[in-house]
């Protein structure tokens, strides 16, 4: 039986051109092998959520985000921690993607969460907040050991995430994500 490479979507919760979260996702994408392929979706053009905009005509960037989520077998989200929580830009994008309520592209979508921080906790508080938000969207957050990356700035060299131990840990979590995708593909979800 041939191995299926699933299409994953990576979303970084940071807009910075030298984002450590984006560097983490790029390092992971380059190491997926035959597990999956992953493209990254930039949140730079997503406007602030406004139901008036939604009623008039969905902004093109939001439509593109929702389509990318729909087409992906699973998501990998990497968020910084800002003031004990996830980034505003990521929360905003999830708010857009969660529409319409209870029938959005996030419903039943397998999601792997990762957080990073220059501090010693690696973004655990942001991860908790992100898990709550994704629960409200009816996403399927993958149960695996939490991926928190403390001291992330020291693990970046020339713009590349190079911490091999963490990369191996992330790849093991991707195996959990792929198992969740396979399980969902094998039968109906209630």
Q: What is the pLDDT of residues 124-176, one digit of tens each?
A: 999 999 999 999 999 999 988 899 999 999 999 999 999 999 999 999 999 99
In a domain, 1, yes or no: no
d(CA 74, CA 85): 23
In a domain, 104, yes or no: yes
Q: What is the pLDDT of residues 29-44, one digit of tens each?
A: 999 999 999 999 999 9
Q: Is the pLDDT of residue 78 over 90?
A: yes
In a domain, 174, yes or no: yes
pLDDT of residue 98: 97
In a domain, 190, yes or no: no
* Ramachandran bin of 155, using left for φ above 0, alpha for ψ from -120 to 50, beta for the remaining angles: alpha
In a domain, 111, yes or no: yes
Q: Could you list the residue range(s) of the whole structural domain that residue 37 is in?
A: 6-183
Number of domains making up the chain:
1
The domain spanning residue 170 has which CATH number?
A: 3.40.50.360
Average pLDDT, the chain: 94
At 18, which helix (H) or strand (E)? none
In a domain, 189, yes or no: no
The DSSP-derived string for 108-171 is: T-EEEEEEE-SSTTTTHHHHHHHHHHHHHTT-EE--SS-EEETTGGGGEETTEE--HHHHHHHH
* Global pTM value: 0.94
In a domain, 39, yes or no: yes
Peptide bond into 20 cis (omega under 30): no
In a domain, 46, yes or no: yes
């Amino acid at each position: 039986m041939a191995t299926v490479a699933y299409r994953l979507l990576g979303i970084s919760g940071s807009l910075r051109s030298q984002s450590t979260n984006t560097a983490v996702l790029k390092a992971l994408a380059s190491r997926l092998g035959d597990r999956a392929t992953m493209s990254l979706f930039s949140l730079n053009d997503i406007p602030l959520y406004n139901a008036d905009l939604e009623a008039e005509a969905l902004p093109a960037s939001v439509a593109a985000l929702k389509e990318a989520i729909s087409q992906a077998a699973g998501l990998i989200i990497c968020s910084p921690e800002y003031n004990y929580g996830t980034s505003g830009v990521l929360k905003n994008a999830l708010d857009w993607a969660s529409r319409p309520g209870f029938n959005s592209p996030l419903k039943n979508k397998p999601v792997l969460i990762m957080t990073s921080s220059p501090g010693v906790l690696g973004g655990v508080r942001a991860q908790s907040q992100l898990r709550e938000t994704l629960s409200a969207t009816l996403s399927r957050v993958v149960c695996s050991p939490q991926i928190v990356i403390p001291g992330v700035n020291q693990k970046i060299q020339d713009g590349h995430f190079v911490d091999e131990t963490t990369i191996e840990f992330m790849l093991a979590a991707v195996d959990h994500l792929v198992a969740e995708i396979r399980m969902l593909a094998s039968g109906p979800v209630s």
